[in-house]
Structure 1
Amino acid sequence: MAIQMGEARYRYGLEDSFEEGKIEGKIEGEKIGIQKGRISLLLKLLKSKYHEDCSAWLLSLNDEQMEAVSSLILVCNSFQELKNQVTIMK
């Protein structure tokens, strides 16, 4: 009887760990998806405004700089001006 109870505790412990892992995986996946969506949207905006491929530059930025790009794109008239403004932030 004690062996069966021990096995049951072990089995339920694994199931609990598995469920926790699934939840953590979903949260991490959502974060990655949001980041990819943000990058995709910024790339489309930059391409439509400045008519240049900005993907390499955009992917080199950190989260804070990407946030700045989303607001600076409204006031900067050239891609070079945008890059300069973001560089100043570093």
Structure 2
Amino acid sequence: MDFLRFFSGKPSSKEVAKDRLKLILIHDRASISPELLDMMKSDILAVISKYVEIDNGTIDVRLTKEEEIEGGSPALIASIPIRKMKER
């Protein structure tokens, strides 16, 4: 059915549910609570903010599964838009 998805441009509800279940399993395997993930995000942003000005409105920090790593280990993915470098 992936052939039909090519024309619609939208993932099927089956694929969306599958992706959501994968994320839930990854969070469970990593044993990272949402609170801990928020604390990690705050710490990362504090360090990065020392060196660059960041766009706080579009930050995305999440835990995901990195397929290339043997065993499918969880990976922390951070998308932090940088406005400009700070003067030193």
**TM-score > 0.5, shorter chain as reference:** no
More strand by share: 2
TM-score relative to the length of structure 2: 0.32
TM-score relative to the length of structure 1: 0.31
Rg (Cα) greater in structure: 1
More helix by share: 1
Which of 1 and 2 has higher RCO (CA within 8 Å, sep 6+)?
2
